[in-house]
Every structure is written in structure tokens, then in C-alpha cells.
Amino acid sequence: MNTNKVVLITGASSGMGRATAIFLASKGFKVYAASRTPEKLIQIENIHPIHLDITNIESVQKTIEKIGEIDILINNAGYGLVSSVEEVKEEQMQAQFDVNVFGILRVCKAVIPMMRRQNAGIIINISSFLGKIGLPLLTLYNASKYAVEGITDSLRYELSPFNIRVHSIMPGFFETNFARDNLVTNSQTFSENSPYAPLVSSLAPTIIKQINNGNDAQEVAALIYDIIQDNAFKARVTAGEKAKKFIPMKKELSDEDFERRVREYYQLG
């Protein structure tokens, strides 16, 4: 059992975060399930719900101080903005990066000193296969997840002298209510008057269908457990059908050939 290991999971009220919190608690970890809506987690056995707003540095600092000691950090909180670049609003751009990128950095900044003093720790960033592959209308989300991959790579160098492991998981599409709860759409892009209306009408239903028919979040929870248990686990790993299909393909093909495959798959013309 892992009763002496303390885990902090951000964005734990639903989806992969919730599944991971439940799974790790069942394995004996002391799990702090952080969310802006911790009341959604109160009734779950062996889980410690805690309020955390990763866009607010005071909230981050107070939450970390309240926990006191953290062995494993799972940066899971995030959402996806669906918008053309032409029509995206300034505040939408800022918000996407504030959560998906700066939120991770804020929590890491607060947790790393603890792990460094302990000379041990694990940080797992939940990224996306779209952190390696671009898709139209998801440019801001893509860019934020590309940034998460860069954070992961750099922190692996930066923190290895202190015996802190850093990993990323790149999920494909998972059935986690993401399409309902974690996709934010730009109303102008989704207007019938938008020059991108044909692209929206063809691509958006396909993406939503793939999310709703995606893999079970339990797959990611089990993968996180494997990373924790294996000191030699590789830097990053894919999860789910789409990630396992596209990431290896991207490595094998030229950029131009890969782009042609994606265009064909999503009928982008």
C-alpha cells in the first residue's frame, strides 16, 4: 500500500482527474482532489476534496500550504477553446493559456520547493495528442498543449538533480464529458455568417462524436499509476486510440505527408 504517499490532482471534479483520484485512493494513496467545485467530491471514500483555482496565485499558494507535503503532482486541469484565430477574442486567448499553461506553471512553482527539499517527487502533466498535432479551430488549445510538452521537456532537465521525475501523458479523445463541460466555443466562429462556417459544420460534429465515443478515463488512471510505480518510466506516453494512431504516424512521415493524412482523415480538403 501507499498510505504514506501524498498526491495532488488538479481538475479532479470530473473526467480523467476524478477517475484518477478514485483509482489512486483505492491503491492506498492519500489523495487531495483539487477543484474549483470540491463539493462534487465530498461523498467519495478516501478522497480529500480541496478548493483550488489554478488561475489565482493566492489560491495556489494557500492550497499547497494547507496540504503541507506533496509527493506526486498530477496537473490535469484544463479546457479546450474552439475558435478560428481570426475571430478569437483577446480575453479568450489569455484565458486558454492562463489555465492550460500558466496554471501548470503556478502549481509547479509552488510544489517544486517541497519536492526539492524531500529530494524526491513525481510531476505528471496531462497533455494531449494535440500537443504534437495541429487541427483547425483548435489552434489555441493546440498551442497550449504544445507548451505543456515544452514544460515537461525542460523540467525533466531542471529537476533531475533533485530526484524529481517529470512525465507527460498525451491522451487522444476520451469519453469524459469533455465535449459538454470542457469545450468553449467562440460564438462568432460558430455563427452561420462566419467565413469558417463550412469548416465548423464539417469538423466540429466529427470531433464531438469522437470525444463522446472515446476511450474510458480509467485507462489514463491506470497509466498514471504505472508511471508512479516505475522509476524508469519513459518521458511521455500516449493514451487512447487517436493518440496511438497519430503520434507514431507523425514520427514516421514527413510533415507534408502527415498533413495530407490528417486532411484525408478529417476531410479537410
Q: Which residues are catalytic?
A: 13, 127, 141, 145
Helices (H) and strands (E) in the chain, counts: 10, 9
Nearby residues of 252 by Cβ (< 8 Å), 6 or more positions away: none
Each as own residue / partner, the long-range contacts of residues 244-250 (CB below 8 Å, 24 or more positions apart, any chain) are: 244/172, 245/172, 246/129, 246/132, 246/133, 246/172, 247/129, 247/132, 247/133, 247/170, 250/132, 250/133
Nearby residues of 214 by Cβ (< 8 Å), 6 or more positions away: 172, 173, 174, 175, 176, 240, 241, 242
